[in-house]
Structure 1
């Protein structure tokens, strides 16, 4: 199931809670003690910055799959979000060795060096978002495949342990298949439905999106069902194919313009339509695809900040999540945002 740690950081006393959550997540991912210590250090620095400089915020911790083959393992992803004043000098804050008082002396620059992935975005008056991932190994062994980048962030309703949303992806040659599922309702049964969809994706990812949805319908019949969307990127043809059933939102930026991709009413595994149309759109190096569950408001601001171009897709997903709400307006449902970035770059997630 989609285990999530959602820790509010209202004051300095919550820094310890974030560190403990990072250690729990590391245990769930099977990280060795030295990598657990790295996750705890990064978590402490992020939480300390929230407490001291942002008037509070939150740290989300997800377990994410790394790699694209059968040997992929879980890693710990830490996401720090706030609606604070922003960082006046990001370059200085990211300088290795720069730190704030009362921190462990690590600094954001050191966090970037010891984490397998680290990215940060800050805007005056909007706040700061940072994303870090801790793998089993300090340095990736061997070359990573050159594939389009994918990243996401998953938030449970009411800070529950499990989210009813889940996402997954499979990359085979020039084809990448991305899936987002929102289990009907909330809680463990919703999580069972969404994770069932993700678990069965590798066995059907070679099929077109509409057929994938049909096959997943059979797999989800023992569950309460889910809203599911599938986006399949074919690099050889330069096209992305999309099909969805239920309340999964999608927006595609291609050739500098945003347009919605539409899902059909229904529930995969319960009340799916007899046929599902497939949208086919061109894909360019600067294209960006955002999938999200219905926990995100229908009218969320698209990430048109030029500073986000080419950034870690998990960071873009976190910015979308942060900017769609506020500290005073919590989400009303499990919420998952997944971003497929344009072009080919070294795999992030």
Structure 2
């Protein structure tokens, strides 16, 4: 089943050359689920095929991630691998350039077809690529720097995590949810929370969580965190096993944990806190407990400078705990990046 907007991310491991065709077919289906018109579903298939083909030919431990765009319209096509990296990215965009005696149209074609394309590559960490494709009649500008992935536990078709992002004025407000347990009942709870959140996204963060608490009565309940980015500052309000991290290229500057309790059951009065913000290089991060919290031990300056879409892709690809649902959400602006997450359970 392909995801509609708000549904989990599709994860396609590129572990055999046949996976290239699977990625292309799934990308076409997701594009149609996102209501992309005309030839755009076929172009999405080409983007996924080219990124997957590069992984198959050149890299190891790679995957393609497909989903409705984390914010705004269109869809995200993300490729991640663990190396060996691209020695000269500029040269790799040249038509006809190839290191494997093929036509060499890959990255050049991706850059031309995608509405917006971002790529980073280092020998030690591999390559991260994000292609965004959208209807040009609706928007010619890439969405605000927002990145998110939401993956169900291995073997599960439904995800007990979810997220939502709403822009209002000059601010962006995001919600990250981790339903208790996983599977259909957890998915039902977080989907109800998202429906409650959307019309209230410009309200105070504590007010948002209070409304979600009422909505989740008679469900399993959830851990929940709301974050708001104003451009020059960021606010966080969380209940349950959720933490926010303030980062800079020098490392972790601050960690905040959600208040004890469960949204939908015995929730305390929520309290909004300010995340440290040190200008252009600031990063604030929040993720669900399907991500191993020890990732911070390996966070290099190069990783901390990644744009949000690539940051969350790298995080989930390398540090996801497959027995649980996993979600990460990141906001960025010219002032820096904000990302929301919950720590993992041993």
The TM tier, using the shorter chain, reads 0.7 to 0.9
Q: Give the CA deviation at 1:194.
A: 1.9
Change (3 A) 1:216 1:88: same
SS of match in other structure, 1:32:
coil
SS of match in other structure, 1:24:
helix
* TM-score, length of structure 1 as denominator length: 0.84
Match of 1:38 among 38, 43, 48: 43
Say yes or no: does 1:243 pair with 2:237: yes
Corresponding position of 1:203: 199
Q: Give the CA deviation at 1:66.
A: 4.0
Q: Give the CA deviation at 1:30.
A: 1.4
Match of 1:162 among 143, 148, 158: 158
Counterparts of 1:1-349 in structure 2 under 5 Å?
Answer: 2-64=7-69, 66-67=71-72, 73=73, 75-96=74-95, 98-99=97-98, 101=100, 106-137=105-136, 141=139, 149-158=145-154, 160-235=156-231, 238-253=232-247, 258-273=253-268, 275-283=269-277, 284-301=279-296, 303-306=299-302, 309=305, 311-324=306-319, 331-343=322-334
Determine which structure has greater relative contact order: mean sequence separation of CA pairs < 8 Å that are 6+ residues apart, divided by chain length.
1
Q: Give the CA deviation at 1:223.
A: 3.3
SS of match in other structure, 2:55:
helix
Change (3 A) 1:106 1:116: same
Instruction: Tell me if the contact between 2:247 and 2:304 (Cα under 8 Å) persists in the aligned partners.
Output: no
Q: Give the CA deviation at 1:144.
A: 7.1
Change (3 A) 1:221 1:13: same
Change (3 A) 1:94 1:344: farther
Distance 1:144 1:50 in 2: 25
| Cα displacement string for residues 303-322 of structure 1 (whole angstroms, at most 9, x for unaligned residues) | 4434763x531111112223
Instruction: Tell me if the contact between 2:78 and 2:131 (Cα under 8 Å) persists in the aligned partners.
Output: yes
SS of match in other structure, 1:267:
coil
Q: Give the CA deviation at 1:101.
A: 4.9
Instruction: Tell me if the contact between 2:206 and 2:237 (Cα under 8 Å) persists in the aligned partners.
Output: yes
Moved more, 106-115 or 9-18: 106-115
For structure 1, which runs of at least 5 residues remain unmatched after alignment?
68-72
For structure 2, which runs of at least 5 residues remain unmatched after alignment?
1-5, 337-346
Change (3 A) 1:287 1:143: same
Q: Give the CA deviation at 1:263.
A: 0.6
Corresponding position of 1:70: none
Q: Give the CA deviation at 1:255.
A: 9.2
Q: C-alpha root-mean-square deviation of aligned residues, in Å?
A: 2.7
Change (3 A) 1:298 1:135: same
